[in-house]
Structure 1
Amino acid sequence: MTRSALYIELKRRFNGGNNGQLFLSHRDAAKALNVGRDTASRYFNDLIERGFIVVTKGHCLGPDGIGQSAHYRLTELAYESKPAAREFMKWRPTPRPPPRSKIQHLMAGKSNRGCRKIQPLEVQMSENPTTLGPKGASTMSENPAIYTSSHIPLTVGEAEQRLIHGLGLCGHAVAQAAP
């Protein structure tokens, strides 16, 4: 069932002289077409947008509190001694914007900063994310000032210990280099 079935249902209610006073509630249309009320409402909106029907009187709540459905005019038929407007012939589809591309997230809910690579324990060093550049993370020999005692792996050889203490990487800066 499509909007054309709704149009046929409205045209069935035309008796030759009541164009502009045709009425069909969304609830009755949904029941007649065997669809939901939201779908029937969408069909009405499509027919209005495309120029097949025009609302001549909007829906309202009557004086006694009972709702009254909107009245419609079929544009293919004459109305009040005027020829048929046939507004549907002027309708052109509006260009739809291109669909939004989905952004592919590598880690949903995580930041987009580079993450620490897991390396074997003997090679592993913490990386300071502020020193990440086009080449990647700085190593301790390139920029020893970014490392503190909390960044030093637990298994440090004698050469690394001399370098660490000589450069003052355990909390105190020392002006001299390693021997």
Structure 2
Amino acid sequence: MARVDAAWYVTAGWALDLFQGRQTRDHDDIEIAVPAHGFPDVRRALSEFELYAIEDGLAHPLTPETLAISHQTWVREPATGLWRLDVLREPWDGNTWIFRRDSRIRLPRTRVIAYTEDGIPYAHPEIALLYKAKAVREKDEDDFAAVLPLLGPSRRNWLAKALTLVHPDHRWLEALRAGSTDTAAR
């Protein structure tokens, strides 16, 4: 990905681990996000791989038509058939990120992408958690419980406001507002 000029960044569980500075659990895959307009750059950098658009859990060969119906691309190594990467194409307006599930939620790039000491770009934890909040699984609850104590008040408040917009009855809201890690209301 060093050859990619687009503002790509690690997201989901790995982003939360990068924020914490350690691997906290096993991960099924590596997910990165990229502004949708920067995807051609990613596609060129991954030209030796097979790319598939994902819709409803099904992989479709990447064509202009399948790109239009999906925001997600899986990357497969041809020699082994192994899936190597999950690329999420996200809406951006210039340097402003737009939450794919609710366009009222927007942030400048500096509030979306952080960097490790080694220069690896990753989604700020509140961004990764906002996406994880859609369909909470056990690993998402564990990720939330691990990260919440590390979030300062401004991050907790931002996530609470965003969740209130998209999931007004979400079980994480009470813990975010209290600043605690108690998610017993699961």
- Which range, TM-score by smaller chain? under 0.3
TM-score by length of 1: 0.24
Higher relative contact order (CA 8 A, sep 6+): 2
TM-score where L is the length of structure 2: 0.23
> Whose strand proportion is higher, 1 or 2?
2
Q: Between Structure 1 and Structure 2, which shows a larger proportion of helix residues?
A: 2
Larger Rg: 1
